[in-house]
Structure 1
Amino acid sequence: MVANLYVSRQSDVPVYRQIVTQLTYMIEMGQLHDGERLPGSRLLAGNLGINRNTVAHAYSELRSRGLLQARGRNGMVVVGGQQARSASAARERARAVLEAAARECVELGLSTSDIQELVADFAGRAAGAVPRVSFVECNADRAGYFSGELEKHLGIPVEPLVLGEFEAADQHHDLVLTTFFHLAEARGLLRRPTTDVIAIVVAPHIRTLLEIAKVPRSRTVGLWYATDDQAASIRDSLTQAGVTNIEVLTGTTDEHLRGIDLVVVPSEMPDLSARFAGRVRVIEFGNVLDAASLRMVSDVVRDLRPVAPPRTRTRPHTR
């Protein structure tokens, strides 16, 4: 019966979760009975063409659900069939409801991944299981700005945290996001067994780079930021991009602006530009979240949420 297992690497659902979902279904439907032995992780992984650790992960979750039990040389054995089948009526009703809704969504033109994401989002909200996500930065303006941008993309709340302004012991998150510049510090403060701390790429908007590139090499681009660390980070990024006529400003007097052709201020703090009005050209350093980083974060959040059962492939009947 386990030979009917099928996994898809093109699915948005992680492979280990596909295995968990299909085996759970087989146990609930009585296709796998109590006492029935499952293939070892190495054998099943070989048959499916996947990593052995992926199967081990799936078996571990099924054990935690009380559906499997490790019995020495007998390997993994089904033990929770009766309990699982007692809940099958409710699941069948739910399956019928979801199938009808999914068909209507398809008729509306939604893709499979769109439908899965919507179901996962609604299920998480209904169960109160929306992942708690935060974004960590060195000042409140940047933390608030990027948290807002991430909320628009992910569709869930993202809490802004400012380094030095919160008690690490009071923070309990499923996922902590930050920039590579602050990754080590954020991990040191917030890393826990149940918390992922990952860095995302924050890149300058192409319009910002074009404006800076127009400045003659004989002139200087000034950076005026709320903190020296933030200004130094921007300077280093521009230097790596080949822009070397950069100077971090230490003040806003005419003396400080001598030889400065352009002053760059952060887009999340446009009021800073008022200090240079009428004396020098000012642009806002527009930041954008890297598209690949956003896709990666979406995948991580999707994995943290409850997910809809994958649609198994119907195999043709052969005699």
Structure 2
Amino acid sequence: MTKNADLSVDIFQITTGSSEPIYRQMVEQLRRQILGGQIHAGDAMPSVRDVASGLGVNPMTVSKAYSLLESDGLLVRRRGLGMIVAQRHTQFNEAESRLELLRPSLERVGLEAQQLKLATADVLQMLREILERA
């Protein structure tokens, strides 16, 4: 059995000026990385203390994010050893789950497009161009 990676604090990119709370940013980023295959089952999460220090946030913020991910079944607590990424035992449509993670961002884009009175076709064309460049 191969040893899984110990993840670093760099897995999180926090936007401090965002209206989205820091713990929620962490939760959503980790969900995307797990569902997107960048982070794998068995990978060891950095400690709460390391993440808090590396990001310059309160340890309770990190603890809250980890607890939410644990309650969602994405992380598992190992007593005395920290958190690891959980094995996924349930069957679900991963593509649909990954797509659903985009919903909040797309809803914000939709609202902004409505506020700016932009034509749907123009917004969709811009999104298509952005996706083709990515």
TM interval, short-chain normalised: 0.5 to 0.7
Change (3 A) 1:87 1:41: farther
Query: In the alignment, which residue of structure 1 is the partner of 2:96?
Result: 90
Q: What is the rounded CA distance, in whole Å, between the counterparts of 2:12 and 2:61 in structure 1?
A: 14
Q: Sequence identity, in percent?
A: 32
Cα distance change of structure 1 residues 93 and 69 upon mapping to structure 2, 3 Å threshold: closer
**Structure 2 segments unaligned to the other structure (5+ residues):** 1-6, 117-134
Residue type at the aligned position of 1:12: S
Moved over 4 A (4+): 95-102
Equivalent of 1:43, from 42, 46, 50?
50
Higher relative contact order (CA 8 A, sep 6+): 2
| C-alpha spacing 1:33/1:96, structure 2 compared with 1 (3 Å) | closer
Alignment of structure 1 residues 280-319 onto 2, 5 Å: none
How many correspondences in the alignment?
109
Cα pair distance change 1:15/1:34, threshold 3 Å: same
Matched residue, 2:111? 105
Could you list the runs of 5+ residues in structure 1 that have no partner in the other structure? 111-319
From the two aligned structures, give the one with the greater helix fraction. Answer: 2
Quick one: distance in 2 between partners of 1:98 and 1:36?
Answer: 27
| Distance change >3 Å, CA 7–CA 96, structure 1 → 2 | closer
Provide the C-alpha distance between the structure 2 equivalents of 1:31 and 1:59, rounded to a whole number of angstroms.
18
Question: Match for residue 80 of structure 2?
Answer: 73
Where does 1:246-285 land on structure 2 (aligned, <5 Å)?
Answer: none
* Alpha-carbon distance between aligned partners in 2 of 1:96 and 1:41, rounded to the nearest angstrom: 27
Letter in 2 for 1:5: F
Task: Find the structure with the greater CA-based Rg.
Answer: 1
Q: Alignment RMSD, CA only?
A: 2.6
- Structure 1 segment 46-61 matched on structure 2, within 5 A: 46-61=53-68
- Aligned to 2:84, what secondary structure does the other structure show? strand
1:7 counterpart (5, 10, 14): 14
Residues 133-282 of structure 1: matches in 2 within 5 Å?
Answer: none
Given candidates 39, 44, 50, the residue that maps to 1:32 is 39
Aligned residue for 1:185? none
TM-fit CA distance, 1:9 = 2.4
